[in-house]
Structure 1
Amino acid sequence: MKFIDFFAGIGGFHSGLTRAGHEMVGWVEWDKYARQAYQAMYDTKGTYTANDITKIKSGRDIPDAEIWAFGSPCTNISVAGNRKGLGGEQSRLFFEIIRLLEDRDWKEKPSLLLMENVKNLLSSNRGWDFARVIAEMDQAGYDVEWEVLNSSWVIPQNRERIYIIGHKRGIATSPVFPINRSELEKKRNFGILRDVLEPAVDSKYYLSKDKVKQLLLNGKKITYSGLSNIKIIGNTSKTGHSSQDVVDVQGISKTITATEYKHTTQIAIKVNQVGNISNSKSFGGNPQTGRVYSDRGLSPTLNTMQGGSREPKILVEPCLTPDRVNKRQNGRRFKDNDEPIFTITTADRHGVLLSNGKTYAIRKLTPLECWRLQGFTDEQFNKAKEAGVSNSQLYKQAGNAVTVPIVEVIGKKLKIE
C-alpha cells in the first residue's frame, strides 16, 4: 500500500513501512537538518513533500494513499517536556492531521491511520488528552485500537511508546493488536547492548578520571573508602600534560614512561587508542608485541580472561546522562550489565560504564550507536553523516525517531481484506 510520512524526521516510519512492503508517496518535515538526512537516506525523487504541515492549504493537495503515518510531536506530552498536553505548541499539531482528513471526501480518506507517541499520552491531563485523540479519530470516521510496545523487545533500548491504529469505517481491514512479544523479538536487530557499541571510539567520548569518580560515587557504585582499591581510566593525567595531550598523533601514551610503569593507578590513558610499549606486562600489554590496547579499542586492564577464553569479561552497564553529575531524569544512574540503554531523547546524552569490577571507564554513546539503537542501518547513518549533518543533529534525530523494527512488524499487519 502507499503511505504518507508526516512529521517524517529521519524516516523511522519510512524505513519500517518500506521494509514491510509499502511505498512512500509523500513526506512532510519542517526541520531542515532532518530533511537533509531524509533526502540523503531515501530516494525521494518524484514524491510529494511539504516543509510545514500548517501551510498545507487542504488535505486534497496530498496524494492519495491508503496509510497516513505520523508521530506527531510529543514535546508537550512527554514526562521530560513541559506537560502542556495536546494544547501545547508542538503537540497540538496532531489536530493538523485531523484538519487534513476532514478536507478530503470520504472515498479519498486513507483506509488506515498509524500514530506513535509517548506512553505518557495515556495519562496526560489525567487521561483527557488520550480521550481527545480517540474522539477526534472517531469523528473523522475511524475505529481505533492501540497498544503500548517497548522497543527493548527489538533493540537494547528501553523505550515505551503507544501505537494507535485508526481503521476507516466501511473498509474491511485486519486488526493489528495485540502484538505478542515473540513477534517483535523475531525482528531483533541486536542481542544485547555490547553488540551495539563501536569497536574503537574517539577519546572525546570518554570522561575524565575525576568525572568518572563523581559518577561512580553518585551512582553508589563505589564508596570513598573503596577508591584506593580501584583504577579509574579517563582522558586526563597527573603528569603535567593537558587532557588533549595525553596521547600523541601516533597513538602512544605520553603518560607511560620507564620510571612510571609501577604507578598505574596514577596514570590516565585514552582507552580508544592503540599504543606500543615494550614488555609492558603491568599495563596488560603483550610482551612480544607490546600492545597496550586491545583491537576492540578497550584497555586490556578491562579485559579479564578466564580459562584461556579469548572473550573479555567486560561489564557493559548503561549510564544515565554521564555528562551531568546532577541528572535530569529520575531513577538510577546505572543499570545492570547489558540491560537495555535508557530511553534516547533529543536532549540527553546517555553512555556506558565499562568495568571488570576493579577498573572503570565511562563514555558517552556515539551518534552511530544511537542510530543503531533505533534500528537504522550503518549505511543509512553514513549517508546522513556524509550529507553534512552534524553530530549534535544526528543525536537529536535519533532521539526524535520512531523505532524502525517496531514499525516494520506493525506494517506487515496493516492489510485491507
Structure 2
Amino acid sequence: MRFIELFAGIGGFRYGLEQMGRLQQGVERPRRSRVIEGKGGKSQFDCVWANEWDKYASQIYRKQYGEICEQDIRTVDPSTIPKHDLICAGFPCQSFSIAGKRGGFEDTRGTLFFEIMRIARAKRTPYLLLENVKGLLSHDEGDTFQTILRTLDEFGYDVQWQVLNSKDFGVPQNRERVFIIGHLRGQPRPKVFPIGEADEVYTEPDGQVVHAIDSNYHKGWLDNQQRTMVLNQPKYGEYHTSDVADNMAGTGKSSQIKAVIGNSIRRLTPIECERLQGFPDNWTEGISDTQRYKCLGNAVTTNVIEAIGRQWINGL
C-alpha cells in the first residue's frame, strides 16, 4: 500500500507502518539501533512522499529517509504529490489538547485539518489514517469532532475511530490518542477497530527505559538503588519502573518527565524518550536536546502504528 505522511515530524507513521511489514516477515524489531532500509525485505506499506514544515523535524526525517518536502502544507500543490492509497497525518494537536488553550478550529493550526482534506479530495485518496489527542473528542462540547466527521462525510468518507493508549502496545507511557480511519465509499472497509489491549503492559524494571543513561546525565547515579520515574512531581504523582510514564508533550521542556534515583532527580535522556515513543536509540541524534524532546513529544508512538498496520493488513 502506497502512503504519504502529512505533518510527518520525525517519521513515526512511516517507521511504524514499514516496520510492521518487516515484523510480518519475521524480522525482529530493533531496540538499540535504527532500521537499515530494506532489511528483511520489502514492507507491505511503502511511503512515497512526506511533508513537514519544522526544520528540526525535517532534518531528522531527511537523515533517516533521505527525502522530505520541507514546505508549508498550505502552499503544496496536490499535483506534485505522487499517486497513493493512504494519507497518514497526525495533524497539529496543540489546538485540541485539554492541557492547552482549547482554541480548536478558531486557531489557525486547527484549520490544517482542512489541508488534509484538500489533498485527499484532489487526489481521491482511498484511505485516511489520522491521529490527534483524546481531547479532540470533547473539545467545544464535541462540536469540533462533529465538524471533522461532517467534513469527512461530505468528502465521501465513511469513518471509524478508537482511542488507543501507548501503554497497551509495548511502551511504558500513558499516552491516549484518538485514531481516525476514513475510507472512500465504494472502497473495501478496513477491519481495524476495535483493537484490544496488547498482551501486557510493558514493564521492565531496571531495563529498557531507565538504564539508557548518557554520561552527561547520570553523574554517578547508576548503581543498585531502586529507580523511580516521576512526571512533574508532585502535581502528577510518582510511579515506579514497573509502572508507566505519563504522557510526553511536544513543548520541548526537558523537565516534564523525571527519573528519581535514590535521593537524586534527573531528567530522562533523549534516548529514553525515544524508547517511550518506540523509536530506535539515537533516532533524533543531530539536533539539540531541546529540539529532540520537542520532536519526540509531537511524534506518534510507533508501536501503536505497527498494531494498526497489522490489523489493517490482516483485515483485508
TM-score over 0.5 for the pair = yes
Q: Aligned partners of 1:61 and 1:337: how far apart in 2?
A: 47
Q: Structure 1 residues 199 and 128 mapped into 2: Cα distance closer, same or farther (>3 Å)?
A: closer
For 2:57 and 2:213, how far apart are their aligned partners in 1? 27
**Is there any run of 5+ residues in structure 1 with no aligned partner, and where?**
207-269, 273-296, 303-313
Is the Cα–Cα contact under 8 Å of residues 156 and 192 in structure 1 kept in the other structure? Answer: no
Q: Deviations over 1:342-381 (max 9, x none)?
A: 11112243111223xxxx2211100111011000011x52
Structure number, greater radius of gyration: 1
Separation (CA, whole Å) in 1 of partners of 2:99 and 2:189: 36
State whether residues 374 and 403 of structure 1, in contact with CA within 8 Å, keep that contact through their aligned partners in structure 2. yes
Distance change (3 Å), C-alpha of 1:336 and 1:199: closer
Per-residue deviation, 1:317: 2.4
1:412 and 2:310 correspond = yes
Match of 1:36 in 2: 59
For residue 171 of structure 2, the aligned residue among 143, 148, 155 is 155
Whole-angstrom distance in 2 between the partners of 1:31 and 1:337 = 33
Question: Using a 3 Å threshold, how does the CA distance of structure 1 residues 135 and 32 change in structure 2: closer, same or farther?
Answer: same
| Aligned pair partner of 2:181 in 165, 183, 187 | 165
Question: Aligned partners of 2:189 and 2:110: how far apart in 1?
Answer: 28
Partner SS, residue 371 of structure 1: helix
Separation of aligned partners in 2, 1:399 and 1:199: 18
Structure 1 ranges of 4+ moved more than 4 A = none
Aligned to 2:196: 180
Give the count of matched residue pairs.
288
1:138 maps onto 2:153 in alignment: yes
Structure 2 length-normalised TM: 0.84
In structure 2, the residue corresponding to 1:179 is in which secondary structure? coil
Cα distance in 2 between the residues matched to 1:367 and 1:68 = 29
Q: Which has the higher contact order (CA 8 A, sep 6+)?
A: 2
Deviation per CA, 1:170-201: give whole Å up to 9, x if none. 01132210001136x5xx77645742123544
Find the counterpart in structure 2 of residue 366 from structure 1.
269
Report whether the alignment pairs 1:344 with 2:293: no
2:48–2:82 Cα contact (<8 Å) kept: yes
Q: Aligned residue for 2:260?
A: 353
Taking structure 1 as the reference length, the TM-score comes to 0.65
Letter in structure 2 aligned against 1:321:
N
The percentage of counterpart residues that share the same residue type is: 38
In structure 2, what is the equivalent of residue 10 of structure 1? 10
Query: Partner of 2:239: helix, strand, or coil?
Result: coil
Partner of 2:289: 391
**How far, CA to CA, are the matches of 1:159 and 1:30 in structure 2?**
24
Q: Which residue of 1 aligns with 2:74?
A: 54
- Aligned equivalents of 1:149 and 1:175: distance in 2? 16
Q: CA, structure 1 residues 140+377, in 2 after alignment: closer, same or farther (shift >3 Å)?
A: same
Of residues 19, 22, 32, the one that matches 2:45 is 22
For the residue of structure 1 that corresponds to 2:159, the secondary structure is: strand
State the secondary structure of the residue aligned to 2:195: coil
Query: Alpha-carbon deviation of 1:403?
Result: 0.3
Corresponding residue number in structure 2 for 1:197: 210
Aligned: 1:402 with 2:306: no
How many angstroms does 1:82 deviate by?
A: 1.6
Q: 1:125 aligns with which of 125, 140, 145?
A: 140
| Structure 2 runs not aligned, ≥5 long | 21-43
CA distance in 1, matches of 2:203, 2:126: 33
Pairwise CA distance, 1:103 = 2.5
Q: 1:177 to 1:391 in 2, by over 3 A?
A: same
Measured after TM superposition, the shift of residue 50 of structure 1 is: 4.5
- Conserved? CA contact 2:13–2:305, under 8 Å: yes
